[in-house]
C-alpha cells in the first residue's frame, strides 16, 4: 500500500481526576471542567476519554488506563482527607506497562513538592531556605533561626490549598511566645508558646517527610504571579492578590475584605511578564531539570511555578522568589493553555509511537516506514511546535 494511502493513526488519552462512582458513570468531555482540554485534544486528532478515579474502583480505572496511549492526571496531593498514597503506585504500574503518564509520580516527587524550594535555592528564584528532615532537627535548629533571621514561613513537603503552611513570628515582648497563622482560607492568627506550635508540626514529618523553612517575603500583599508551563515553554500567566498569611481585617477572615482577589489570566505574550518568561524558559527551567535530574520530555504537560515579588534590584526592577511548584493538579488555566497542552501531548505521543514502533517491528515494510517519516516531517514543520 502506498504511503499516502496509509490510515491515519489516532492516539487516545485518558484524563484522570478524582470523583465518586456516580461521577464516573456520568462523566463526559462536555460536562467536565476540563472541557477545553478535551476540545483542544480532539482538534489535534487525539481521542480523550474521561477517567474518574477513586480507590474504591481502582481496578476499573486500571483497565481503562491500560487501553490508552497516555494518561493526563489532575489529582491533588490531599483532597477531602484522601491522599495519592494508592494512586501513585497505580500510575507507576501503568507507566511501566506502556502508556505515558503525565505528570508521572516520580517527577512530582522531584519538582512538585516543597523540597524543590530547598534543592533549587541556588537558582535565581531562590531565597534563604532550609530543610528539616526530622522533628529532632526541627526542634534543634528552628528556634535559633527564628530569633536571628526574623519572620519565617514553614511548609509541609506535600500539600495544597494552604494546608501545612505557616507564618511564624516572634513576639519580642513575650518570652517564648510566637504568633502563627495558617495559610488555609479562614485562618486566624494565634499566639502560643513556640514549643506548643512545634509539637503541632510534628505530623508533617510523616507522609511528607520534611519541613521547608523560607524567609517571609514582605511584598506578599502585592500579590502572587503564577507562571503556567507546558513542558519547558510558558503557556500563560496569572496574577492574584492573595490573602493567605496576611492578618485578616477587623471584620474577620470570612468578611468580603478578607477574600482573595480574582486571578487575572494572561497569555504567554503578556508584555508585563516577558522578563519572567525569559528567565523561566532560558534559565530557570533548564537549571531546575539539571539540578533535579529530570529529562525535558518528562516535564508535565501542564505545571505552574508560583512567585512572590522579592526585593527590587539596584535598578528598581522586580525580582521573583519561588514559593511553590504545582505539578499534581494545575487548574484553572489560561485560555491559551489547552492548545499548548494538546501540542505537547501530540508531540510526546508521536515520539513514543515512533520509538516503540521501530523497536518492536523492525520488519515493517518500506511503505510503512515512508508513512512514519511523512508524519514526522509534518510535525517538524508545524509552526505551532513547541
Question: Over the chain, what HEC string results?
Answer: CCHHHCCCCCEEEEEEEECCHHHHHHCCCCCCCCHHHHHHHHHCCEEEEEEEECHHHHHHHHHHHCCCCEEEEECCCEECCEECCCHHHHHHHHHHCCCEEECCHHHHHHHCCCHHHHHCCCCCCCCCEEEECCHHHHHHHHHHHHHHHCCEEEEECCCCCCCCEEEEEECCCCCCEEEEEECCCCCCCEEEEHHHHHHHHHHHHCCCCCEEEEECCCCHHHCEEEEEEECCEEEEEEEECCCCCCCCCCCCCCCHHHCCCCCEEECCCCHHHHHHHHHHHHHHHHHHHHHHCCCHHHCCCCEEEEEEECCCCCCCCCCEEEEEEECCCCCCCCCCHHHHHHHHHHHHHHHHHHHHHHHHCCCCCHHHHHHHHHHHHHHHCCCCCC
Check residue 67 and give its pLDDT.
97
Q: What's residue 78's pLDDT?
A: 86
pLDDT score at 369: 35
Query: What top-level class would CATH report for the domain 3-103+336-380?
Result: alpha beta
Residue-level pLDDT at 207:
72
In this predicted structure, what is the pLDDT of residue 205?
A: 95
Q: Which fold has domain 110-123+219-326?
A: D-amino Acid Aminotransferase; Chain A, domain 1 (3.30.470)
Matching fold, domains 3-103+336-380 and 110-123+219-326: no
Where are the chain's structural domains?
3-103+336-380, 110-123+219-326, 129-215
Tens place of pLDDT for every residue, the chain, 386 residues? Answer: 454 554 455 899 999 999 999 999 999 999 999 999 999 999 999 999 999 999 999 999 999 999 999 999 999 998 888 999 999 999 999 999 999 999 999 999 999 999 999 999 999 999 999 999 999 999 999 999 999 999 999 999 988 888 999 999 999 776 789 999 999 988 899 999 999 999 999 999 987 789 999 999 999 999 999 999 999 999 999 999 988 898 887 777 778 777 878 899 999 999 999 999 999 999 999 999 999 999 999 999 999 999 999 999 999 999 999 999 999 999 999 999 999 999 999 999 988 645 544 444 443 333 333 333 333 333 333 333 33
Amino acid at each position: 500500500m502506498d504511503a499516502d494511502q496509509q490510515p491515519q493513526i489516532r492516539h487516545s488519552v485518558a484524563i484522570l481526576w478524582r470523583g465518586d462512582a456516580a461521577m464516573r458513570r456520568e462523566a463526559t468531555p462536555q460536562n467536565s471542567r476540563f472541557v477545553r482540554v478535551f476540545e483542544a485534544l480532539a482538534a489535534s486528532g487525539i481521542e480523550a476519554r474521561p477517567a474518574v478515579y477513586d480507590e474504591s474502583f481502582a481496578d476499573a480505572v486500571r483497565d481503562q488506563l491500560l487501553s490508552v496511549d497516555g494518561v493526563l492526571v489532575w489529582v491533588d496531593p490531599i483532597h477531602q482527607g484522601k491522599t495519592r498514597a494508592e494512586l501513585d503506585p497505580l500510575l507507576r504500574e501503568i507507566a511501566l506497562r506502556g502508556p505515558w503518564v503525565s505528570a508521572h509520580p516520580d517527577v512530582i516527587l522531584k519538582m512538585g513538592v516543597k523540597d524543590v524550594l530547598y534543592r533549587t535555592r541556588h537558582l535565581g528564584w531562590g531565597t534563604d531556605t532550609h530543610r528539616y528532615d526530622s522533628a529532632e532537627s526541627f526542634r534543634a535548629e528552628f528556634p535559633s533561626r527564628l530569633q536571628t533571621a526574623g519572620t519565617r514561613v514553614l511548609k509541609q513537603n506535600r500539600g495544597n490549598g494552604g494546608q501545612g503552611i505557616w507564618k511564624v513570628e516572634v513576639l519580642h515582648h513575650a518570652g517564648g511566645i510566637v504568633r502563627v497563622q495558617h495559610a488555609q482560607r479562614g485562618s486566624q492568627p494565634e499566639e502560643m508558646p513556640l514549643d506548643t506550635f512545634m509539637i503541632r508540626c510534628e505530623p508533617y514529618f510523616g507522609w511528607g517527610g520534611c519541613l521547608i523553612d523560607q524567609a517571609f517575603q514582605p511584598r506578599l500583599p502585592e500579590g502572587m504571579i503564577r507562571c503556567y508551563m507546558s513542558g519547558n515553554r510558558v503557556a500563560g500567566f496569572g496574577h492574584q492578590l492573595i490573602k493567605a498569611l496576611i492578618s485578616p481585617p477587623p471584620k474577620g477572615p470570612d468578611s468580603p475584605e478578607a477574600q482573595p482577589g480574582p486571578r487575572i489570566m494572561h497569555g504567554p505574550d503578556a508584555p508585563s511578564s516577558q522578563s519572567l518568561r525569559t528567565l523561566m524558559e532560558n534559565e530557570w527551567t533548564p537549571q531546575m531539570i539539571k539540578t533535579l535530574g529530570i529529562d525535558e520530555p518528562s516535564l508535565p504537560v501542564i505545571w505552574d511555578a508560583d512567585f512572590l515579588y522579592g526585593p527590587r534590584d539596584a535598578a528598581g526592577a522586580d525580582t521573583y522568589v519561588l514559593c511553590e511548584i504545582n505539578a499534581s493538579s494545575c487548574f484553572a488555566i489560561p485560555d491559551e493553555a489547552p492548545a499548548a497542552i494538546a501540542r505537547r501531548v501530540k508531540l510526546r505521543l508521536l515520539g513514543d509511537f515512533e520509538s516503540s514502533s521501530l523497536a518492536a517491528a523492525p520488519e515493517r515494510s518500506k511503505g510503512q516506514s515512508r508513512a512514519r517519516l511523512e508524519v514526522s516531517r509534518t510535525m517538524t514543520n508545524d509552526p505551532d511546535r513547541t
